Structure 1
Amino acid sequence: MDIQIHSNLILKGIQKLIDSSRQRAAIFLNSESTLLYWRVGDYINQQLLTEGRAEYGAKIIATLSQQLTEMYGKGFTYTSLTRMCKVAKCFDAQKIATLSQQLSWSHLIELSAIDNEIKREFFTQLCMLEQWNVRDLRGKANTMLFERTAIASKPEKTIKEALQTLAYDKTLTPELIFKNSYVLNFLNLPNDYSEKELESALINNLQKFIMELGNGFAFVERQKRIPVDSVDYYLDLLFYHRKLKRLIAVDLKLGKFKVKYKAQMELYLRWLQKNEMLEGEEKPLGLLLCSEGNTEHIELLMLDNDEIRVAQYLTQLPSKAWFAEKLQRSLEIAKMNAKDKE
């Protein structure tokens, strides 16, 4: 089968797409360029699926790249064309019409590199909502943001529903905001640090800490006094989440989670609800940050289904395998709990 003949046939089709698009002044806008690249990729994909062309598709794409570069200059290298094909496989026409209005082509290339469909949708929706640049997107993917987010350990149906709600209503659930692991590798703490030193280091690096907590957090107070029956308790950190419209109580703990921490946090939350919650706000939520993880203990108590979240903080970034193993363990325990309910 003559590769040159098939390349010429495909080339003519692509020429029509490019020439038609270039007749419009909007070609220089991001959305039009994105749509053009998607159409080229989709057209190549469709053509390679016909008449057995797929088996020597790489050679055809290489030939097309040379021809298109001669005609139109930069932008049609072999790598560029393969990326167009990949993006077209990941996003259908309806989806790309929406994404092209909010994300750049570089964003879509990064997103298309995520093979898992649910994970890709998670990053797509949050990227649009929080207006990440490409560097932000790449960094959050590399630090396993999806695997660290509470929603990742939920059933697939629950994740899809949460992402659909986010897409259509722009409404975030706590599961999409809170994480099971927070990476605090910017603190430069000594090996034998205390809770007080941890708190001070977080305050000194407050901007970075808030960035790790996620978009929407606003710092309210440090060592919040909680007076109950003539006894003064002190909450380590108090935040407010603008999108959840809730106060977020954060308590820092060395070592693993202990059951008594739950009762203490419940006291803080009841006091905040009674004395600090304003009209129009939702009930406060609590976040217990522990230096060591004990996933099974937390899952069996089912704290993440309640008003209290428990997470591990990490002063050094572990390997991706570590996050994957932790997520797998959480999924196994969650499935066990689901069976017990049946």
Structure 2
Amino acid sequence: MQVILEDIRNIIAQSRERVARSVNHERSVAYWQIGRRLVEDEQEGKERAVYGKKLVKDLSVHLQKEFGTGFSANNLWLMRQFYLSYPILHAVSGELTWTHYKILIRLDDPQKREFYIAESIKNAWSVRQLERQINSLLYDRLLLSQDKESVLAIARGEALPNKAQEIIKDPTILEFLGLKPQAAYYESDLEQAIITHLQEFLLELGNGFSFVARQKRIILGGDEFKIDLVFYNRLLQCFVLFDIKIDKITHQDLGQLQMYVNYYDREVKAEFENPTIGVLLCADKNDVVVRYSLPENNGQIFASKYQLHLPTESQLKAEVRKELDKFSGED
């Protein structure tokens, strides 16, 4: 009885999901076609284009009476922009809803739109998750550590990340924790907030991460140490260790994290797994100190500043300039 009941439940749930996807896709296709019709009407001549605004306003009055508030003047303009952003109908995915597309068409850069579409489909992002990733400038932050083609290739599923730089973000955005930047809190408070908001933290970390342990206890020569957070990344096939510092990090902090990474490489990881990655999640850092504290060919230890608020474009540009200055000889 229980087995057949579960099977029938699954059949019904999958059917409803397919119906919902179909309805969402048909709605998006209809809105794309409306957008195309509006653009075609404008292209009939300059005189027609002049009356474009009045036409949309008049159309919305009639359509709202007949079909409801979804056909307001603002939404009709969005449908027009939808067509202009995706002039080929084949590019409109049935995996995304009209609400997803309303957010995506705000982006002027076609490659940026392509990235967020691919990631939304691959990770089944909700509308809220998509909006959060755009607001946290995910695409731009990834470009700090790799080139545009690599970012797009990984998003499309044409390539897999094969080095830590492709998955470790700097800065790491933790606005979802609800902690105030100026408030007094301990490292344990930040760690607890991350655990409480683990789903959001995994979203920020990106593809392939799974939680393993908190305050992982290890004994070295009779001395006890605890690693704040342990994750595993299935794409890179390696452990990723996080050490949390609410102050500016020192070379001693980097040395301690290196010790944790060495321990995992020698005592925990299997032969088929790749070298362990260590990330110092810190409130502040001196990039020059970090660089000289680590080997020149370092590919395992990283320092990532965390932010308790969403970044602005000017903040991100400042981060880009810092990255460029690292190798300019000006430090």
Shift of the alpha carbon at 1:75?
A: 4.3
Deviations for 1:182-240, whole angstroms, at most 9, x for unmatched residues? 31553659944333444345445545544544454322223334445665543222111
| 8 A contact 2:251–2:290 mirrored in 1 | no
State the match for 2:244 in structure 1: 252
| 8 A contact 1:250–1:286 mirrored in 2 | yes
Please give the alpha-carbon distance, in whole angstroms, between the structure 1 residues aligned to 2:58 and 2:272.
62
DSSP-derived class of the 1:127 partner:
helix
Shift of the alpha carbon at 1:275?
A: 2.1
Aligned pairs for 1:92-171 (under 5 A) are 92-93=87-88, 96-147=89-140, 149=141, 151-154=142-145, 158-169=147-158, 171=160
State the match for 1:182 in structure 2: 173
2:255 partner letter: A
Unaligned 5+ segments in structure 2 are 1-18
Would the alpha carbon gap of residues 85 and 260 (structure 1) be closer, same or farther in structure 2, given more than 3 Å must change? same
Match of 1:34 among 14, 28, 32: 28
Please give the alpha-carbon distance, in whole angstroms, between the structure 2 residues aligned to 1:184 and 1:38.
35
Please give the alpha-carbon distance, in whole angstroms, between the structure 2 residues aligned to 1:107 and 1:176.
26
Shift of the alpha carbon at 1:335?
A: 2.9
1:325 equivalent to 2:314? Answer yes
Please give the alpha-carbon distance, in whole angstroms, between the structure 1 residues aligned to 2:304 and 2:291.
11
Match of 1:287 among 269, 276, 279: 279
Please give the alpha-carbon distance, in whole angstroms, between the structure 2 residues aligned to 1:306 and 1:26.
44
1:130 partner letter: N
Would the alpha carbon gap of residues 73 and 224 (structure 1) be closer, same or farther in structure 2, given more than 3 Å must change? closer
DSSP-derived class of the 1:332 partner:
helix
| 8 A contact 2:231–2:240 mirrored in 1 | yes
1:334 equivalent to 2:327? Answer no
1:162 partner letter: V
Please give the alpha-carbon distance, in whole angstroms, between the structure 2 residues aligned to 1:187 and 1:26.
33
1:221 equivalent to 2:220? Answer no
| 8 A contact 2:28–2:92 mirrored in 1 | no
Shift of the alpha carbon at 1:248?
A: 0.7
CA RMSD of superposed structures (Å): 3.7
Would the alpha carbon gap of residues 171 and 298 (structure 1) be closer, same or farther in structure 2, given more than 3 Å must change? same
DSSP-derived class of the 1:249 partner:
strand
Please give the alpha-carbon distance, in whole angstroms, between the structure 1 residues aligned to 2:20 and 2:216.
54
TM-score (ref. length: structure 2): 0.75
Unaligned 5+ segments in structure 1 are 1-24
1:332 partner letter: R
| 8 A contact 1:123–1:137 mirrored in 2 | yes
Would the alpha carbon gap of residues 119 and 175 (structure 1) be closer, same or farther in structure 2, given more than 3 Å must change? farther
Deviations for 1:58-108, whole angstroms, at most 9, x for unmatched residues? 223223434555676664332222111111222241xx5254221111111
2:144 partner letter: S
Would the alpha carbon gap of residues 305 and 330 (structure 1) be closer, same or farther in structure 2, given more than 3 Å must change? farther
| 8 A contact 2:285–2:303 mirrored in 1 | no
Shift of the alpha carbon at 1:117?
A: 3.4
DSSP-derived class of the 1:260 partner:
helix
2:172 partner letter: S
State the match for 2:10 in structure 1: none
Report how many residues are paired.
306
State the match for 1:48 in structure 2: 42
Deviates more, 1:326-335 or 1:211-220: 211-220
State the match for 1:242 in structure 2: 234
Match of 1:194 among 183, 186, 190: 186
Please give the alpha-carbon distance, in whole angstroms, between the structure 2 residues aligned to 1:191 and 1:131.
35
State the match for 2:75 in structure 1: 80
Deviations for 1:151-174, whole angstroms, at most 9, x for unmatched residues? 13246xx12332123214373565
DSSP-derived class of the 1:169 partner:
coil
Aligned pairs for 1:298-317 (under 5 A) are 306-314=299-307, 316-317=308-309
Deviates more, 1:75-84 or 1:25-34: 25-34
Shift of the alpha carbon at 1:277?
A: 1.7
